[in-house]
Amino acid sequence: MAFTLTGDDAIQELQPSPIPEPYWVAFSSSVAKALKIPLNNDGYPQDQTWLNVLAGNSLETQSQKFSNPISTVYSGHQFGVWAGQLGDGRAILLGDIADQELQLKGAGKTRYSRMGDGRAVLRSSIREFLCSEAMHALGIPSSRALSIVGSKLPVLRETLETAAVCARIAPSFIRVGHFEHFASIQNIVRLKELADLLIEQHYPECRNIKDLYIDLFQKICARNAKLVAQWQAIGFCHGVLNSDNISALGLTIDYGPFGFLDQFQMDHICNHSDQGGRYAYHRQPQIMHWNMACLASAFIPLLELDHSEEEAQKLLTDALGEFPAIYGQAWQTLFRQKLGLSTVQDDDIQLIERLLQVMHDSRVDFTTLFRDLANVNTSKPISAIKLRNDFLDRDAIDQWLADYIDRLKAESSLDADRRQKMNAVNPKYILRNHLAQAAIEMAQRQDFSEIAKLLTILERPFDEQEQYQEYAAPPPPDLESIEVSCSS
């Protein structure tokens, strides 16, 4: 529910800046249904005033008035360096609807826009819209996207593009950066209000605990540790894991230059601007831990309300120290599920890591490989297993498959049963960059059909969907390395 802090520079009350001649680019009827917005047969709102509201041109639908839109202040660390005050530079919170915050991204300048124009371009809005819905369908906690509204309003990036407004929802958009902001200006009153608000609205289980702030900290850390394990297991790279892009609810937020892995490369960097690879795939867990350390620093004054400085530091350091184990446990559970293992054995980690290493060495497609692994027939010879042909080093994969089959036999795994369970966790369809890119290029020619089609496919990522087989395929060689950067 909405951020309620007022006073100081905590929020700015403001109206979105209108865009000329708004039109629908994309709309998620499934999000709309969750928000109880009545829809017509085409899956768009019956009440057409929603278009103007989601464009940022009006604050009133026939049934709802958003009377108090705001932007909030946050600070943060970008690429490992304290960057001071950052946002909300282009997001305006309209208000609450069905227990969700409804936020318009790209709705114009705010007090916190710094040098920015407050806008988002069509291309990045399409990527955020599709990816948030894809992640939700994959069972990964995420903000969700209701709509994209387009306009001819020109926006200058590397080239001249057009503006779009993406409406997104989450139970709360509170970030690590919000805590860092109030800690950095030593406004302990606001810091405490923020923590209390989070507990009251989103972590009610902390309410009756004596040491509630350390409990809150532990719970935020645990959620984010489990979140990053889910990213690793699905092959998702966030791209910009700055502390201002980390949710206090453990949600995936702020989709920018993200990427799903195609060919598996442990040190894959999806963000073209990330030259040092700080946010590479294999570093994400460690970086999330680092972001939790930023949160720990911001929590010190809260802990000092009830503890000495030394005690506060120790409590936070100990809690932070639990992150790797929580992450590791979640990672192992997820990868066991991916391999269809139903028991826990000592050398499972080794088995999983060996597979990842041979996949890395052969640059095998991450999603296809795990999906194909479900078809392993434990009673046939290894030479008959098709997926071995995807590996350059046949000996290595053959040896791994032999050990895997032994491991399955040791727990009397049944092929059909295991296949069903594995297909429920290893998706067939992910938002590959080349698919998003094709939808973007069509949208730039005013054809939005591919966005709607991708949404339909990605809403059921684990289903076979016979008519859409080509959407499961890895990119053709000329589309393997589409570059995505921070400019959006």
Just list the catalytic residues: 244
Q: Which is nearer to ligand AMP, 90 or 268 (CB)?
A: 90
Binders in 250-289 for Mg ion, by CB under 5 A: 254
Convert residues 247-266 into a mask of x (bound to ligand AMP by CB under 6 A) and - (unbound). -------x-x----------
* From 19-27, 115-123, 380-388, 416-424, span contacting ligand AMP (CB under 6 A): 115-123
- Chosen residue from 32, 53, 54, 86 binding ligand AMP by CB under 6 A: 86
Which residue type, as a one-letter code, is found at position 70? I
25 near 146, Cβ under 8 Å? no
Closer residue to ligand AMP in complex, CB, 58/245: 245
Q: Quick one: which of 16, 22, 118, 427 contacts ligand AMP (CB under 6 A)?
A: 118
- Residue 113 binding result from Mg ion, ligand AMP, none, given CB thresholds of 5 to 8 Å by partner type: ligand AMP
CA atoms within 13 A on the CB side of 198: 23
Using the rule CB under 6 A, is 89 a contact of ligand AMP?
yes
Q: Which is nearer to Mg ion, 74 or 299 (CB)?
A: 74
Which two tokens mark 454?
């991708």
Contact 327, 292 (CB under 8 A): no
Q: Which is nearer to ligand AMP, 172 or 245 (CB)?
A: 245
Piece of 88-96, 137-145, 290-298, 387-395 that binds ligand AMP (CB under 6 A): 88-96
The CA-atom distances, in angstroms, between 428 and each of 54, 141, 411, 440 are 32, 19, 26, 22
- Counting residues that bind ligand AMP (by CB under 6 A) gives 15
Using CA atoms, how far apart are residues 48 and 50, in angstroms rounded to an integer? 5
Whether the CB-CB separation of 371 and 462 falls below 8 Å is answered with no
Residues 108, 16 contacting (CB under 8 angstroms): yes
Q: How far is the CB of 268 from Mg ion (least distance, A)?
A: 21
Tally of CA atoms within 13 A in the half-sphere of 276 that contains its CB: 4
- Tell how many helices (H) and how many strands (E) occur in the chain: 15, 12
Interaction between residue 245 and Mg ion (CB under 5 A): yes
Q: Which of 469, 457, 465, 474 is nearest to 133 (CA)?
A: 457
- Sketch the per residue contact string, 185 through 224, with ligand AMP: x for CB under 6 A, - otherwise: ----------------------------------------
477: number of Cβ within 10 Å: 7
Question: Which residues of the chain form contacts with Mg ion (CB under 5 A)?
Answer: 245, 254
Question: Which residues of the chain form contacts with ligand AMP (CB under 6 A)?
Answer: 86-90, 113, 116-119, 240, 245, 254, 256, 486
